[in-house]
Structure 1
Amino acid sequence: MTKLQIAIDRVPLAEAVALAETFNGVADIVEMGTSLVKDYGNLAIKELRQVLTQSELLVDIKTMDEGAYEFNQGYRYGGDILTVMGAASLDTIAACYKVSQAQHKQMMIDLLEVSDEKISQLKQFKDAIFCLHHSVDRKDKWDAADSVLKFNADFPGITSLAIAGGLDLAQTRKLAEKQLVDIVIVGSHITKAENPLISATRFKEAVS
């Protein structure tokens, strides 16, 4: 079954906590977005952790350096899944991976603007979640399903795949129906909806 991850970004902390509480038990994973990490720091992880009793918490720290320290801190404050950039050095990613394995937690590798050659090197991190990520700043349109099909053909050894980047309900349903990914990551199509809970429920039904 495809999991639904809801990303909370670019809102005041109090609103983020309220949204997390709303999505608790609806989303499989609630994401504390990078903007929240930058605005409020690791201490804010605790506040989201307290209201997430039925959903996992991903903290999108986008580690590029000091991998062991950042991952130890992220898990210490309550993250279940932490992110490292695929563009980071292999040594940094290996340090993050070592911490995640030691703490029996999960690591997500963000493949934003990462070359195929580098992805081939990243396959060694077998228990990691790999995230195909289409930047919000990019102006070109993309087909999420086609991107995943190509990725799976190019990298058949990667067994845990997530996808992010402006996904709407139709794209989410298509990805889930074809069982193309393990995790669909949705942000503003849920959090900026007139009724975020109703929207989250519709996306959850689409992946179930």
Structure 2
Amino acid sequence: MKLQVAIDRVDMLQARSIVAQVADAADVVEIGTSLTKEYGLRALTRLTEDYGGQVALLADIKTCDEGRYEFDLGYDCGFAYLTVMGSASMGTLEACAASAAAHRGTMMIDLLECDDARIERIGGFVDAVYCLHTSVDSGATADPIGQVRAFRERFPQIRRIAVAGGIKPDQLAGLAAEGVEIAIMGSAITKADDIAAAARRCKDLTV
């Protein structure tokens, strides 16, 4: 299972410092929505130029429209993963998928607030990673392992799954056992006294 470390609500200097500290342990480093909104993708290219050769970088742009434009821009700025909201139109999702294929990047579909009917409708993007996501405002996921197990039973056609929302280190082994592709962790790593050590400990728990 891959470990994704999410960086949010910090300034650019702090973001650079955190990327440097986690790059050796993380499989993916997420430049969170707050950073993409505050600085913009072109300004964040300095991170992809400096660290893109060490670790895959994800821009959590949460695309809702203008899918081809936003995804082409994100990949051109050096990001390997980009996010689109599952609530976006099928036209937007298809445009994002086409851009991902053209750039050999990965599309992550954020399922925040998507009901079962919606997930069933958009579940055919075989190359996409589908992210089970509990929002910050809603609090941590109470039982992410059970959530993943139930999701797989309802949507067996969806093979690539990520999970986010207050994931704790002691949940990582169980998530890996459920076949989760990416576990996304934020403050459990980025707020630790020793960020690099926390990232290494969490990575050790994913295998």
Q: Same fold (TM over 0.5)?
A: yes
Counterpart of 2:30 in structure 1 is 31
Distance in 1 between residues matched to 2:171 and 2:93, nearest whole Å = 30
Distance in 2 between residues matched to 1:36 and 1:141, nearest whole Å = 23
How far apart are residue 51 of structure 1 and its match? 2.2
How far apart are residue 22 of structure 1 and its match? 1.3
Counterpart of 2:19 in structure 1 is 20
SS of the equivalent of 1:87 reads coil
How far apart are residue 140 of structure 1 and its match? 7.2
Are 2:189 and 2:199, in contact at CA under 8 Å, matched by a contact in 1? Answer: yes
Counterpart of 2:165 in structure 1 is 165
Are 2:163 and 2:180, in contact at CA under 8 Å, matched by a contact in 1? Answer: yes
Q: Which amino acid aligns with 2:72?
A: N
Are 2:33 and 2:62, in contact at CA under 8 Å, matched by a contact in 1? Answer: yes
Are 1:24 and 1:52, in contact at CA under 8 Å, matched by a contact in 2? Answer: no
Cα gap change, 1:140 to 1:51, in 2 (>3 Å): closer
Cα gap change, 1:139 to 1:42, in 2 (>3 Å): closer
Distance in 2 between residues matched to 1:44 and 1:191, nearest whole Å = 22
How far apart are residue 174 of structure 1 and its match? 2.0
Counterpart of 1:45 in structure 2 is 44
Are 1:42 and 1:74, in contact at CA under 8 Å, matched by a contact in 2? Answer: yes
Alignment of 1:146-165 (within 5 A): 146-165=146-165
Distance in 1 between residues matched to 2:61 and 2:190, nearest whole Å = 20
Indicate whether 1:6 and 2:5 are aligned.
yes
TM-score (norm 2): 0.96
Distance in 2 between residues matched to 1:170 and 1:180, nearest whole Å = 16
Counterpart of 2:95 in structure 1 is 95
Distance in 2 between residues matched to 1:119 and 1:166, nearest whole Å = 22
Distance in 2 between residues matched to 1:57 and 1:116, nearest whole Å = 29
Are 1:3 and 1:184, in contact at CA under 8 Å, matched by a contact in 2? Answer: yes
SS of the equivalent of 1:207 reads coil
Are 1:17 and 1:51, in contact at CA under 8 Å, matched by a contact in 2? Answer: no
Counterpart of 2:107 in structure 1 is 107
Distance in 1 between residues matched to 2:140 and 2:187, nearest whole Å = 18
How far apart are residue 192 of structure 1 and its match? 0.4
> What is the percent sequence identity of the aligned residues?
45
- The farther-off stretch of 67-76 and 140-149 is 140-149
Q: Which amino acid aligns with 1:14?
A: L
TM-score (norm 1): 0.96
Distance in 2 between residues matched to 1:106 and 1:112, nearest whole Å = 18
Are 2:3 and 2:206, in contact at CA under 8 Å, matched by a contact in 1? Answer: yes
Cα gap change, 1:170 to 1:95, in 2 (>3 Å): same
Unmatched 5+ residue regions in structure 2? none
Aligned residue pairs, count: 206
How far apart are residue 119 of structure 1 and its match? 0.7
Counterpart of 1:127 in structure 2 is 127
How far apart are residue 173 of structure 1 and its match? 2.5
Distance in 2 between residues matched to 1:71 and 1:8, nearest whole Å = 20
Alignment of 1:179-198 (within 5 A): 179-198=178-197
How far apart are residue 104 of structure 1 and its match? 1.2
How far apart are residue 48 of structure 1 and its match? 1.6
Q: Alpha-carbon deviations, 1:84-107, whole Å to 9, x = none?
A: 000111111111111111111110
Are 1:17 and 1:47, in contact at CA under 8 Å, matched by a contact in 2? Answer: no
How far apart are residue 139 of structure 1 and its match? 4.4
Unmatched 5+ residue regions in structure 1? none
